[in-house]
Structure 1
Amino acid sequence: MLSVALRTLRTRWATFAGSFVALSLGVALLAVTGLTLASSLDAPDREPERFAAAPVVVRGQDTLRVPTPVGDRTHELARPRAVPAGTVAELERLGRVVADRSFPVRAEGGPGDLVGHPWSTAAFAPYAIDTGRAPRTAGEVVVTGGWAAPGERLRTDRGAVRVVGTVPDRGFENAVFYTDAEAARLSPVSLQLTVDADASTVRDVVRAGPGVRVLTGDDRRLADADPDRDREALTAMNAMFGTAGGVTAFVSVFVVASTFAFTVAQRRREFGLLRTAGATPGQLRALVVAEALGVGVLASAAGCVLGAWGAPHLAARVVDSGLAPAWFTIGDHTWPYHTAFWTGLLVALCGVLAASWRAGRTAPTQALREASVDTGAMTRGRWLFGGGLLLTALVTLGIALAGDPGGLLHRKTYVSRPMLLITAVAMLAPVVVGPLSRLLALLPARLPGATGLLVRENAAAGVRRTAAVAAPVLVTVALAGSLLGATATLDRAEAAETRERTAAPFVVTAAGGAGLDARAVDRLRSVPGAVVSPTASGAVYVLEEGTALIRSDARAVADPKALAATARLPLTEGRTTDLDDASIIVNGEWERHSVGQSVRVWLGDGTRRTLRIAAVMATGTGGNGVYVTRANAPGAPVDRVDVALAPGADAGSVAAGLREAVGTTGGRVSSRDEWVAAASPGTNSTTRAGLLLVLGIALLYTGISLVNTMVMATADRGRELAVLRLAGATRWQVLRLVGAESLLVVAVGALLGLVVAGLNLAGMWGALGLLSVDTTIELPWAALGGVAASCAVLAVTASVVPAWLATRRRAVELAGTRE
């Protein structure tokens, strides 16, 4: 049988070309994924930036550490603490101490991410004067880069200043350096400092300070702004490529399995002749498996070579797109190639198992069949697995809705869940493709002429062919609808939540991440007709189930009554006005979420408090957070002020007064609609890139499978097309018939994919409803139309071209040919 398999591969190379290309591309993507993951796991920690030349950095407590029965649980503090004054005094006896201060600066004509520092910290980067001199007085600054030159006067939210010098841009920040005294005035709190002393001596001094850390060597990078940004970028990139790898494996198995199944269905007569010649069912199964093994070995080897070539190019692309750190490259690893090769071979063998079993069941009488009508397309195994998968998808959806509806909103869930339903519907497709084809062709069949009638009957009679062509269309449309629809539905739901919570007609926000100072808030309060509710961003931490330390974003409220007038919190229990310094408003995700219960929490600076639950909000999409008073958010600056109108107040006059009140601080006054549009989170760039990568893979495989299946199907219909020619059909009528059949089959696959996407999004809509979010399902009609149109173009081209080539021969010759 091995020699027969080799001859089959040689003579039927066009039949297996689609499987070879699909599998080799799948292996290449798996190799790229493995190489990316391996390279990111071996990625070095980022080197210190601002403190690369600093001897020792002492940082105040920035980590919350909570002991539990299974070990300490830690979380980064939202409001790190300053180094204790007593510790600073002792350090000053050891050597020179320089306090580091970082604060946002907004300057006309300057970069949007300007940050201010004291000049004495410039030497630790190290920065050196490029032009001009160092600042000497409060109104003088030194800037990085070339966006301002010495002698220029700048208007900033910190006051007017004059540039007296510049330093070269080191690539990690856009800085403005003030004198030490002026920086201390603008940012009184210093969270970290440098000490010119022996590290071991410094550790002895700070040992008594709770949570104070001494940073030396590479650990000095932890004193930089956002020190984990590279690691977070790599983690997001790993998640993206991991998802792409999973989809690649799924679609590869899907395409290879459907291709081999259709190939076996086409070769019924061939297998019948082999059975007549004495071949046993086991030998036929061995033949099909050997063919798959040959394709798998060659395709996996080609995929590894393609992956080795493509991985560096893809790495450069993700770096250019900002999805990976600038230094990221593909390392020298071998295990990804082994994983990709053997996975590809396993995919080929798994994809052919069902087909080999069907080949073994071929009876000798199949060699005598002349009819092209498919019978027995739904075997008991197909009923069992398809029905079982459909039942599993529905039951797990019901369990998730009953137990954890919020889990259905997670990216991993809405990316993986459609695959189960897609497989189930594809396996059960032969049950519905016949009736669905007749339904879609009902109107064309009643038009004058026989084309519509023939299209309907051919599609309904060739169930296996119709299902095989419709399957890849089903995969792509279902994935596009499910993934893009899920993100659009979530974006719409989150925007609806934001709009519902915002009752104030105006919202004032601080510029550039800075807070509004007390004077600005007082000016806002003094605006005639304005009812203001200043709030600050914060966080609280709670230990749930005794082992999980959970962070919740918090809004710190100055006046609960003003909050009730400017916001509509989605409360399920309690009242907003019951909030006070000894209480908290939580959401339904908390382990304790009943009014009157007490919860032990840690505030943003690590202070432990026990607070009473004053009210409970609905869970929503997960962005409701918690509410506390300003007393429970120490050090958090006001960054948002909601403004309602007093009775009889004029909206235009109030808006003008608000703009005048914040005009010198760089604050922004937005209407409710503007604020909702700006605050709605939307889909981040990494998630969007991951979804596009997944859909690109699906569309690529759709094209391969469609072209391969249509070429095979059309080539197998040579005698059928010849009979049509002998019956009087012209060549162009035959080609129109073939093209119309292709469009009908694509429509069947697109409709099934739309049903799958609708079911998946209906589950998400049900979860949102259980979480008290009133929203609608968002189907990406433009994307679905584009995907369906692409599939239609490929299907028509891949069917009409072989039919055109076949009809170039005389109809009598074609009618007399044998397979």
Structure 2
Amino acid sequence: MLTIALHTLRTRWSTFLGTFVALSLGVALLAVMGLTLASSLDAPERRPERFATAPVVVQGQNTLSVPTAIGAHVSRETRKLTQPRAVPEATVATLRRLGTVVPDRSFPVRAEGGPHDLVGHPWSTAAFAPYEMTQGRAPRTADEVVVTGDWTRPGDRLRTDHGTVRVVGTVRSRGFETAVFHTDARAAELSPRSTQLVVEADARDVRAAVKGESVHVLTGSARRFADPDPDRDHKALTAMNALFGTAGGVTAFVSVFVVASTFAFAVAQRRREFGLLRTAGATPGQIRRTVCAEALLVGVLASATGCVLGSYAAPRLADRVVDVGLAPGWFTIGDSRWPYHMAFWTGLLVALLGVLAASWRAGRTGAAQALREASVDSRAMTWGRLLFGTGLLLTAAVTLAVALVTDPGELLHRKTYVSRPTLLITAIALLAPLLVGPLTRLFSWLPAQLPGAGGMLVRENATAAVRRTAAVAAPVLVTVALTGSLLGATATLNEARATETRERVTADFVVVPAATGTTGSDTETTGFDAQTLRKLRTIPGTTASATSPSAVFVLEDGVALIRSEARAAEAAPLAATADLPLAAGKVSDLDDGSIIVNEEWQRHTVGQTVDVWLGDGTRKSLRIAAVMTTGTGDNGVYVTPANAPGAPVDRVDVTLASGADPAVVAGELREAGGHVSTRDEWLRASHPGTDRTTWYGFLLVLGIALLYTGISLANTMVMATSDRVRDLTVLRLAGATRRQVLRLVGAEALTVVAVGGVLGLLVAGLNLAGMQSALSLLSVHAPIRIPWPELGAVTGACAVLAVAFSVASAAWVMRRGAVELAGTRE
């Protein structure tokens, strides 16, 4: 059998070329994914940046640690606080007796014509990076600053949101921030609250002095936790691994799909060949072993080739993800070997899985097939295919129904709406022989009514060769279904979130601070100062609701510490400027002893009491005043400002009183300070979009799907056309010109692509319908968003590929033999 398999590969190399290429690319991508994952697991430890030379950094309490218990096992869960606490004054006084104490202050700065990510610090902290002076001198007065980089120079005057300042010096940038250094006194005025400080003393003495206090003492590499966003590398690597993990999963699925489709079509084409082997005495088991041996040989060669390709592609892809900002600048591919083993054996397994069903069908070929001359597919739909297809379709329906009943929010998660389409795609692909016939007749009905035999021939050829039609339609189905499902899911979710915001915001104007930036160790929005807030609240003819971002933490069942985003607001102004999606209770009942929660909370009955930890770690028991619907997950909780200590006001919603002039009020709001938007302007500006990592991930997934579609179409078209020499010859002998034959072949390809496109659109529609049902159950009424432009582009690309490969292979076949057999001229 191995000898026969080797001879088959040599003589039918064009049949297996597409499978070889598809497997090679799949293994290469799996190797790249594995190498990326291995390199991220071996990532070097980040070094301190802002405090690289600081002896000791002392931080106020910035985490919440709560004991949890699972059975007899007791542990602690830790979460980062939204409002870190300052180092207590008594502790600061104790530390001053040990050595010099330098408070660190960080606040966002916005300068006309300057970078968007400016952050301010006191000059005394510049020595701990250390920053090196390149021009000028240190600041001495409140209106003098030193800046990093070369975007400005000494002598320039900058208009900032904190007033006009004069640049008196520049320091060399260290890459991790764009800083503006004020005098220590001016920095204290702009940012009175300091949550961390540097102590120039022995670390052991510092630890002994603060023993028992709620502070963190950072030394050595731990000083990196005092840097801006110390977890950014971890977040980037996690997002990157999720991206490549998704791409690897889709690659494995599409690889199996393409290989299975290719082998099934190849077996169907080789009925006479297998019949001759049966006539010569071959047993069904030998036939199956022959087909499996062919797949094994292709799998070994393709997997080895894929590993080599992966070793070359991984470093280049690593450079690319660093360039676009998806990975830290230090990220490189290591020398791990296990990703190659994983990719090789997975590729081999994919090849064997893809040929499994085809080998079983090949073994059932009878000796009488050797005498068969007809090319009409009499039993394209086998019982096994019907049972598996129906079973998968029922599985998809049942799992959807269970999710809608038990946890509809699960259907809105990315991992769910990325994986669920594969189930429906496989089911529809297995049932395709039942569907392609009626769809082909539908699409070719009108052309068949036109004068001439072209439309009728397209219809009859496509419906007679059901296996060929299904094999060509399958990769189109995959590409269109993935495009519609993935892009449609994100567009539908974004529209649902925009609908929630539109229904919730009833204010006439929304005012936000003019500047954003990096403060402390997180990226935050700067808050309004007290004077600006007072002006905004006292404008005649308006009701102003000032809200602050915060968070609350709740321990559910004693095992899970859950963080919920919160907004702090006064009840009466909030009720006048917003329409919260309440399921029970009233906004006006919110006070300092209560909270508004949503239906996702374990306890969500009005009047119940819940124990929570506030954003600064304070534990408190609050009564539930009202309950919001779950929505898309953006319905957090509401508390009063007393339960969000230290949270800066970052938004003021303003509602006009009856008779107030909108133009006059808008002018007064602008004079008070901040960026003023009308409701419509705010809604347009805040319309949710797809984050960059998700977008790159979808581009990668859809690029893989389209690449595999091209490979599959090329392979299937070449295989199919090579067996149509007699058909094309008969057409030429009947008087058809070469051009007419090629037009006929192209029209057949377009018809089959249309069938695959409709089946893919059906899968996407079913997936999006399930998502819309989940949104309706979560009290969000938003329309389905189908990405028509992207679907049109993908379907058009499939049509171009199908027509090009079918016409090219038909022209080649006729050039080699059909013209001579026909003996005619155009």
- The answer to whether structure 1 residue 715 and structure 2 residue 722 are counterparts is yes
Residue number in structure 1 paired with 2:402: 399
Residue number in structure 2 paired with 1:507: 510
1:679 Cα deviation from its structure 2 partner:
2.0
Deviations 1:538-576 (A, max 9, x none): 11111112211111111100x211111111111111111
Q: Which amino acid aligns with 2:617?
A: G
Q: Which amino acid aligns with 1:393?
A: A
Q: Which amino acid aligns with 1:786?
A: A
- The answer to whether structure 1 residue 567 and structure 2 residue 571 are counterparts is no
* Contact map agreement 1:50 1:126 (CA 8 A) in 2: yes
* Contact map agreement 1:719 1:815 (CA 8 A) in 2: no
Residue number in structure 1 paired with 2:289: 286
The TM-score with structure 1 as length reference comes to 0.98
- The answer to whether structure 1 residue 651 and structure 2 residue 662 are counterparts is yes
Instruction: Give the distance between the partners of 2:309 and 2:565, measured in 1 at CA.
Output: 46
Q: Which amino acid aligns with 2:535?
A: R
1:152 to 1:813, Cα distance in 2 relative to 1, 3 A: closer
Residue number in structure 1 paired with 2:555: 543
1:694 to 1:809, Cα distance in 2 relative to 1, 3 A: closer
Matches within 5 A, 1:764-803: 764-803=771-810
1:814 Cα deviation from its structure 2 partner:
5.0
Residue number in structure 1 paired with 2:124: 120
Residue number in structure 2 paired with 1:214: 217
1:808 Cα deviation from its structure 2 partner:
2.7
Deviations 1:727-782 (A, max 9, x none): 22222221111111111110000000000000000000000111111101111111
- The answer to whether structure 1 residue 61 and structure 2 residue 25 are counterparts is no
Q: Work out which of the residue numbers 183, 193, 211 in structure 2 matches 1:179.
A: 183
- The answer to whether structure 1 residue 129 and structure 2 residue 133 are counterparts is yes
* Contact map agreement 2:571 2:589 (CA 8 A) in 1: yes
Q: Work out which of the residue numbers 520, 530, 538 in structure 1 matches 2:532.
A: 520
1:159 Cα deviation from its structure 2 partner:
2.1
Residue number in structure 2 paired with 1:341: 344
* Contact map agreement 1:58 1:214 (CA 8 A) in 2: yes
Residue number in structure 1 paired with 2:545: 533
Q: Which stretch of structure 1 is more off in the superposition, 133-142 or 771-780? A: 133-142
- The answer to whether structure 1 residue 257 and structure 2 residue 265 are counterparts is no
Instruction: Give the distance between the partners of 1:359 and 1:688, measured in 2 at CA.
Output: 43
- The answer to whether structure 1 residue 15 and structure 2 residue 15 are counterparts is yes
- The answer to whether structure 1 residue 101 and structure 2 residue 113 are counterparts is no
Instruction: Give the distance between the partners of 1:582 and 1:27, measured in 2 at CA.
Output: 59
1:427 Cα deviation from its structure 2 partner:
0.5
State the identity as a percent.
73
- The answer to whether structure 1 residue 611 and structure 2 residue 622 are counterparts is yes
Instruction: Give the distance between the partners of 2:619 and 2:626, measured in 1 at CA.
Output: 20
Instruction: Give the distance between the partners of 2:690 and 2:434, measured in 1 at CA.
Output: 38
Q: Which amino acid aligns with 1:30?
A: L
SS in 1 for 2:650: strand
SS in 2 for 1:596: coil
Runs of 4+ in 1 over 3 A off after TM superposition: 809-816
Instruction: Give the distance between the partners of 2:689 and 2:643, measured in 1 at CA.
Output: 30
Instruction: Give the distance between the partners of 1:813 and 1:729, measured in 2 at CA.
Output: 14
Matches within 5 A, 1:184-199: 184-199=188-203
- The answer to whether structure 1 residue 594 and structure 2 residue 605 are counterparts is yes
Unaligned runs of 5+ in 1: none
Q: Which amino acid aligns with 2:790?
A: A
1:815 Cα deviation from its structure 2 partner:
8.3
- The answer to whether structure 1 residue 297 and structure 2 residue 308 are counterparts is no
Residue number in structure 1 paired with 2:737: 730
Instruction: Give the distance between the partners of 2:440 and 2:139, measured in 1 at CA.
Output: 79
Q: Which stretch of structure 1 is more off in the superposition, 197-206 or 483-492? A: 197-206
Instruction: Give the distance between the partners of 1:812 and 1:51, measured in 2 at CA.
Output: 80
SS in 2 for 1:634: coil
Residue number in structure 1 paired with 2:522: none
* Contact map agreement 1:720 1:815 (CA 8 A) in 2: no
Deviations 1:148-191 (A, max 9, x none): 22222222222222221111111111111111112112111110
1:395 Cα deviation from its structure 2 partner:
0.3
* Contact map agreement 1:726 1:812 (CA 8 A) in 2: no
The TM-score with structure 2 as length reference comes to 0.97
- The answer to whether structure 1 residue 223 and structure 2 residue 235 are counterparts is no
Instruction: Give the distance between the partners of 1:80 and 1:204, measured in 2 at CA.
Output: 22
Deviations 1:395-429 (A, max 9, x none): 00000011111010000000000001100100011
CA RMSD of aligned residues (A): 1.2
Deviations 1:265-287 (A, max 9, x none): 00000101111111110110011
Instruction: Give the distance between the partners of 1:813 and 1:153, measured in 2 at CA.
Output: 85
Q: Work out which of the residue numbers 320, 323, 328 in structure 1 matches 2:326.
A: 323
SS in 1 for 2:133: coil
Instruction: Give the distance between the partners of 1:812 and 1:800, measured in 2 at CA.
Output: 15
Residue number in structure 2 paired with 1:695: 702
Unaligned runs of 5+ in 2: 517-524
Residue number in structure 1 paired with 2:811: 804
* Contact map agreement 2:732 2:822 (CA 8 A) in 1: no
SS in 2 for 1:324: coil
Residue number in structure 2 paired with 1:706: 713
1:523 to 1:722, Cα distance in 2 relative to 1, 3 A: same
* Contact map agreement 1:718 1:814 (CA 8 A) in 2: no
* Contact map agreement 2:725 2:818 (CA 8 A) in 1: no
Residue number in structure 2 paired with 1:414: 417
- The answer to whether structure 1 residue 623 and structure 2 residue 623 are counterparts is no
Deviations 1:292-313 (A, max 9, x none): 0110000000000000000011
SS in 2 for 1:181: helix
* Contact map agreement 1:269 1:366 (CA 8 A) in 2: yes
Instruction: Give the distance between the partners of 2:816 and 2:121, measured in 1 at CA.
Output: 82
1:813 Cα deviation from its structure 2 partner:
6.1
Deviations 1:767-812 (A, max 9, x none): 0111111101111111111111111111111111121122235658
Instruction: Give the distance between the partners of 1:435 and 1:641, measured in 2 at CA.
Output: 59
Residue number in structure 2 paired with 1:474: 477
1:815 to 1:207, Cα distance in 2 relative to 1, 3 A: farther
SS in 2 for 1:613: strand
Q: Which amino acid aligns with 1:602?
A: W
Instruction: Give the distance between the partners of 1:483 and 1:49, measured in 2 at CA.
Output: 39
* Contact map agreement 1:602 1:608 (CA 8 A) in 2: yes
* Contact map agreement 1:501 1:570 (CA 8 A) in 2: yes
Instruction: Give the distance between the partners of 2:421 and 2:737, measured in 1 at CA.
Output: 44
Q: Which amino acid aligns with 2:634?
A: G
* Contact map agreement 2:157 2:167 (CA 8 A) in 1: yes
Instruction: Give the distance between the partners of 1:811 and 1:692, measured in 2 at CA.
Output: 42
1:811 to 1:702, Cα distance in 2 relative to 1, 3 A: closer
Instruction: Give the distance between the partners of 1:578 and 1:744, measured in 2 at CA.
Output: 63
Q: Work out which of the residue numbers 336, 356, 359 in structure 1 matches 2:359.
A: 356
Q: Which amino acid aligns with 1:331?
A: G
